[in-house]
Amino acid sequence: MHKGHLDNNEEQIKDTLGMNDIISVLRNEFSNIYLVDCKSQQIEIYRYKNQAVGVKEILQTKQPYKAAIQKYIEENVVLEDRKKMNAAADFEHVCSQLHKIPQFTVHYRVKRDGVLSYYYMKCARIGDADTFQRVIFAFANEDADVKQNEIEKIIHADITTGKRKILIIEDDALNREMLCEILKDKYDILTAENGEIGFEILEKNYKALSVILLDMQMPVCDGTEFLKKIGEDTALASIPVIVITANSDEDAELTCLNLGASDFIRKPYNADIIKGRVDNVIKLKESTLMLAAVEHDELTGLYTRQVFLHYAKGIMKFRADTPMHLVVAKIIDFKLIKHMYGNKKADEVIGYLASVYSNRVRNGLVARQGHNSFVGLFWEDYKTFEQKLKNVISEVKANLPVKGLMVKYGVYKDIDKRLPVSAICDCASMAEESIADNYDCDMAYYTEEMGHKRINNQMIEIAFESALKNHEFIVFYQPKVDIDTEKVVGAEALVRWYKDGTSLISPGEFIPVYERDGLIVRLDEYVFRQVCSLQKRRMDKGEELLPISVNLSRTSALHEDVAKRYIDIIKENGIPFSCVPIELTESAAIYNDRVKAMTEQLTDAGCILHIDDFGVGYSSLISLNQFPFSTLKIDKSLIDDVCQSKGKTLVEQVITLSKLLDMKVVAEGVETKEQLDIIKALQCDAVQGFYYAKPMPEDEFIEYVKGIQSKNQ
Ligand code: C2E
Ligand code: CA
Ligand code: CA
């Protein structure tokens, strides 16, 4: 019955737009394909490729698109990208886009078995903008091998049916004939005996030409002159040129490369090499053209990340021996710029950067990736590249449309071409991230050390599930002490990882990794549950319930339903809301309506909120005023300087203003008696720091509390 369903559907659409062909090609590359009927919003054909089993066709009786896509997103897409995907995949939204453009692509990330990969969803209408009845959704891994030839067959049917035309410019008649002999079976050949005649033929035939074979040594208008001449004309310059050199003269080859040649053939001729090179150059050119036709970023006209990945892969394979470098450029605090100057100005910034980057690139490929970042691949010797990059960086800086805007560059020089392009991009991003907080530095190189870190981070990601299952994450407790009475007035829960039950890993190592990939949401909730359960046990035993605060990362704070889930957990345990305060780290990113609504939902239910790490981030007491925080935690970096007069003044100001806003103040990272005395004089309320106690395991913490409280009674 399922089979019949497929036949009917395929038959029905076969003659309209070659839908059958599209699906049969797409299914090799795409992990999922849905064909959706606009009226019923039901999936008519659904194909699914399971990596382990190969292509599997699961034909369903009609199934609602909405439910299927939601399931797909929930089961595959990483947490941070879900909201974007839900919005982009909304059927009404898709249709309204497709009334304007024939197809579009949405990029997202997928996590399976701890491995992160980049995916995209392509939506295309089947038919005209006004009358289309069906939409196709295809989902694919960006790094999967695209079977270019097959797709070409469909999109450029005209190209593949006829023979391609090539032009051979060579003064030696014997050589010309030999080349014709080698290539005539596959190509239509035009010939010229010098550059001048070659140029005339080229001007008349350039639209039909796929490649030019050019001899460097000729009496009238030699190869160099010819390359210069066509380099001045954009239409002509887009035709790839393969240069024929007499010997392995590297200088001459370098000159040609700089003049735009695509490849070399050396004399004496080897038929297989010649055929292979001509074929490769044509393939590369055509796939670029094809992709360029569909995949430009709307705002900048640059390639999209997807095209970049595909094309870069081709270039890397094709120029295996040329040194290549990859650069990621990222605008820092781009959201803030949008917020302060508006979308129009933000677009202007993007447009400005795109134009500088694309105008200055010769031996390279530049694309826009994400809303605030660019990526470029360059093939030339490192010295030339580095000089150019430095020039571009200072040019960008000098003329930015927004004063004080920062663009950071991460450079992976002399890339390892065996890696997938997306991994190479990640390496350059790591270099960029290493200086994200360093205001004096524009550019950083990817280093071996970062490479180790990358591998380590991957291990940390992969190990998450089993660590959680095996209870390797252990909660430690650091006491908070009242500054006047020296009684323990609370604690903070801080997670540690006993990896495989042996080595202890500090949160500084794994929290940033989990924050990046979204796993922190689950870890935060796990810690929260552990703390609630401890409080419940203490309550049941009739013991004193000191508030134990728990960290909520920014990613968790932005996660849907977080307030409801946390409230439910407290209710499940039947403990007072006040015994598990929630610490939220201060940064520009939390001052928005969404986080504000979340904090209000929590406090309305009775939760207590602390603002953490105050003094390192955005540090806006005014913005803070809008939020229902009861306590402010002064960051350790401010306490470190409190013994100097400037540092003291700063802490004093923060305390005074906090009091005005009716917040209690906790000083974090107090290590010495001297620091303690100063903040005591400044009327700080409580202290959390090594001076009193380090974070400790549960039993130790309980003993510690008993000891202190009995001493102070
Ligand atoms: P945080 O929330 O600011 O926690 C305070 C950190 O300061 C803790 O580091 C604590 O051990 C350390 N500290 C406290 N007093 C002193 C002192 O006198 N001297 C020094 N040198 N350090 C002191 P820890 O436990 O390594 O945690 C580091 C960060 O990891 C935390 O900073 C927090 O941002 C994050 N973290 C820890 N547990 C969790 C968690 O369950 N969820 C989330 N989202 N983040 C967590
Ligand atoms: Ca904290
Ligand atoms: Ca803190």
602 assigned to some structural domain? yes
The domain boundary, picked from 138, 159, 180, lies at: 159
Is residue 178 over pLDDT 80?
yes
CB of 81 closer than 8 Å to CB of 73: no
* Pocket probe mutation, ligand 1, options 494, 580, 670, max atoms within 8 Å of Cβ: 494
Domains held by the chain: number: 4
Do residues 50 and 145 share a domain? Answer: yes
Compute, in angstroms, the gap from residue 576 CA to the centroid of ligand 3: 24
Q: Whose CA is nearest to atom 2 of ligand 1?
A: 551
Q: For ligand 1, what atom is nearest to the CA of residue 506?
A: 26
Does 640 map to a domain? no
In the reported structure, the alpha carbon of residue 412 is separated from the centroid of ligand 2 by a whole-number distance in angstroms of 35
Statement to judge: residues 415 and 486 lie in one domain: no
* One domain, residues 523 and 594: yes
Assess if residue 134 is contained within a domain. Answer: yes
- CA–CA dist 182, 24 (Å, integer): 35
In a domain, 111, yes or no: yes
> What is the predicted pLDDT for the residue at 712?
67
Which among 474, 510, 511, 640 is the best mutation to test ligand 1's pocket, defined by most ligand atoms within 8 Å of the CB? 511
Ligand 1 first shell, C-beta below 6 A: 478, 494-495, 506-508, 511, 520, 524, 527, 551, 553, 612-613, 636, 668-671, 688-690, 695
Tens of pLDDT along 95-123?
Answer: 988 887 666 767 788 887 777 777 778 77
Q: What is the CATH number of the domain that holds 256?
A: 3.40.50.2300
Closest residue by Cα to atom 13, ligand 1, is 669
* 531 contacts 548 by C-beta, under 8 angstroms: yes
Atom nearest to 671 CA in ligand 1: 18
Distance 82 CA to ligand 2 centre (A): 27
| CATH code (residue 347) | 3.30.70.270
Query: Terminal CA-to-CA distance of the chain, rounded, Å?
Result: 80
User: Residue 705 carries which side chain, given as an amino acid letter?
Assistant: V
In this structure, is residue 656 part of a structural domain? Answer: no
Ligand 1 centroid distance, CA of 200 (Å): 73
Q: What is each CA distance from 444 to 312, 375, 413, 453, 625, in whole angstroms? A: 22, 14, 11, 15, 38
Q: Of 391, 421, 446, at which residue does a domain stop?
A: 446
Reported as a single tens digit per residue, the pLDDT across 384-394 is 999 999 999 99
Q: Looking at the CA of residue 633, tell me the nearest atom of ligand 1.
A: 3
Domain boundary among 293, 321, 345: 293
Residue 396 CA to ligand 2 centre (angstroms)? 38
Determine the pLDDT at residue 710: 80
| Mean pLDDT calculated for residue range 518-523 | 94
d(CA 293, CA 291): 5
503 or 297, which is more confident? 503
H or E stretch including 3?
A: helix 2-17
DSSP assignments along 347-396, one per residue = HHHHHHHHHHHHHH-SSEEEEEETTTEEEEEEES-HHHHHHHHHHHHHHH
Beta-bridge partners for 303:
296, 367
Minimum-distance ligand to the CA of 524? 1
Same domain, 481 and 571: yes
User: In this predicted structure, what is the pLDDT of residue 605?
Assistant: 97
Rounded to the nearest angstrom, the distance between the alpha carbon of 612 and the centre of ligand 2 is 6
Residue nearest (by alpha carbon) to ligand 1 atom 7: 669
Mean pLDDT across the stretch 47-59?
A: 47
Q: Is the pLDDT of residue 148 over 70?
A: no
Query: What pLDDT is recorded for position 262?
Result: 77
Taking the CA of residue 520 as reference, the ligand 1 atom at the shortest distance is 44
pLDDT recorded at residue 30: 60
State which ligand 1 atom lies nearest to the alpha carbon of 552. Answer: 44
Protein residue whose Cα sits closest to atom 37 of ligand 1: 494
Cβ 244 vs Cβ 213: under 8 Å: yes
Confidence of residue 586 (pLDDT cuts 50, 70, 90): confident
Report in angstroms the alpha-carbon separations of 126 from 45, 85, 102, 174, 610.
Answer: 14, 22, 8, 53, 53
Same structural domain, 337 and 367? yes
**pLDDT (tens digit per residue) in 404-413:** 889 999 999 9
Domain membership flag for residue 323: yes
Domain with residue 510: its CATH number is 3.20.20.450
The bound ligand whose nearest atom lies closest to the alpha carbon of 495 is 1
Q: How confident is the model at residue 59 (pLDDT cuts 50, 70, 90)?
A: very low
A 10 A CB-CB count for 653 gives 12
Nearest listed ligand to the Cα of residue 634: 3
**Residue bearing the bigger pLDDT, 650 or 318:** 650
Do 175 and 129 fall into the same domain?
no
34 and 97 together in one domain? yes
Neighbours of 654 (CB within 10 A): 22
pLDDT-derived band at 128 (thresholds 50, 70, 90) equals confident
The CA distance from 390 to 31, in Å, is 42
Structural domain includes residue 17: yes
Q: Contact 331/400 with Cβ under 8 angstroms?
A: no
Mean pLDDT rounded to a whole number for the chain: 84
Instruction: Name residue 499's beta-bridge partners.
Output: 503
Which atom from ligand 1 is nearest to the alpha carbon of 556? 44
User: Ligand 1 centroid to 71 CA: how many Å?
Assistant: 36
667 CA distance to ligand 3 middle (Å): 9
User: By alpha-carbon position, which residue is closest to atom 3 of ligand 1?
Assistant: 613
Cα-to-centroid distance, 287 and ligand 3 (Å)? 52
For residue 553, report the distance from its CA to the centre of ligand 3, in Å.
Answer: 11
Minimal-distance CA residue to ligand 1 atom 34: 551
**Range scoring the smallest mean pLDDT among 290-304, 504-518, 696-710:** 290-304
- Ligand nearest to the CA of residue 688, numbered in listed order: 1
As given in the structure block, the two tokens for residue 212 are: 């030019």
Same domain, 61 and 141: yes
What is the per-residue pLDDT across 349-358, written as a single tens digit (0 to 9) for each? 999 999 898 8
Question: Does 137 or 695 have the greater pLDDT score?
Answer: 695
- pLDDT of 635 reads 95
Give pLDDT, residue 284: 67
Same domain, 375 and 509: no
Query: What confidence tier does 75 reach under pLDDT thresholds 50, 70, 90?
Result: confident
Q: What tens digit of pLDDT does each residue of 630-659 get?
A: 999 999 999 999 999 999 999 999 999 899
Ligand number, closest to the Cα atom of 695: 1
The residue whose CA has the least distance to atom 16 of ligand 1 is: 669
Query: Best-predicted range by mean pLDDT among 213-227, 230-244, 319-333?
Result: 319-333
Q: Give the domain range for residue 508.
A: 461-633+684-699
338 and 402 fall within a common domain: yes
Which candidate, 230, 29, 143, 116, places its Cα nearest to that of 459?
116
**What CATH number did the domain enclosing 122 receive?**
3.30.450.20
Q: Output the CA 635–ligand 1 centroid distance in Å.
A: 10
Are 337 and 437 found together in one domain?
Answer: yes
Whether the pLDDT of residue 335 is over 80: the answer is: yes
Instruction: Return the pLDDT at 579.
Output: 98
Given this model, what pLDDT does residue 109 score?
A: 82
**pLDDT score, position 249:** 65
**Do 420 and 476 belong to one domain?**
no
Counting every residue written for the chain, the total comes to: 713
Tokens 């990526």, located at residue: 375
Please report which ligand is nearest the Cα atom of 521. Answer: 1
Ligand 1 geometric centre to CA of 464 (Å): 20
Q: From atom 35 of ligand 1, which residue's Cα is the shortest distance away?
A: 507
Residue 573 lies in a domain: yes
**pLDDT tops 90 at residue 525:** yes
Alpha carbon nearest to ligand 1 atom 27, residue = 507
Helix (H, G, I), strand (E, B) or coil at 270: coil
Strand partners of residue 137? 34, 123
Nearest ligand by distance to the CA of 610? 2
- Give the DSSP H or E segment for 340: helix 334-341
Instruction: Tell me, in angstroms, the distance from the centre of ligand 3 to residue 614's CA.
Output: 8
**pLDDT over 90 at 424, yes or no:** yes
3 state SS for 281-302: HHHHHHHHHHHHHHCECCCCCC
Q: What is the pLDDT of residue 290?
A: 53
438-to-394, 433, 434, 449 alpha-carbon distances in Å: 17, 10, 8, 19
